[in-house]
Amino acid sequence: MDVRLLYFDGCPNWLVAEERLRSALASVGRNHEPIERVLVETSEDAERLGFIGSPTILVNGRDPFASGEEPVALACRVFTTPDGRAGSPTVEQLVEALS
C-alpha cells in the first residue's frame, strides 16, 4: 500500500492528520506501513501534484476524500466529518479509506 501525506508548513492540520493516519493504519493491521510525507512549497508544486489543500492524503495514488471538483490550492483543507467540518478526517474515516 502506498500512503502519502501532502502538506505545506503554513497549515498545522497535517500534524493531526498524520497522527490519525498512523492510528488508522494500526487499526487495519498495517502499523509498520510507511507514510511518505510530501512537502508542497509553491503554487507550481501544488499545480504539478494536483494539491487541493493541506492535508491531502493519497492511498495508492487516490484521494479518498476528494470529489474531483476541488480547485488546486496552497491552503488549509477542510473535511466533512460526522462531527462537522474539521481540518482532518477522523480515524474512522481513515480506516474506511484504507480498507
Residue 73 corresponds to which amino acid? A
How much is the pLDDT for 65? 95
Which pLDDT does position 68 carry in this prediction? 86
57-92 pLDDT per residue, tens: 999 999 999 988 899 989 999 999 999 999 999 999
The whole model's pTM is what? Answer: 0.92
Task: Using the predicted structure, report yes or no on whether residue 16 has a pLDDT greater than 90.
Answer: yes
Tens of pLDDT, residue by residue over 19-51, are 999 999 999 999 899 999 999 999 999 999 999
Q: How many angstroms separate the first and last alpha carbons of the chain?
A: 11
Neighbours of 53 (CB within 10 A): 24
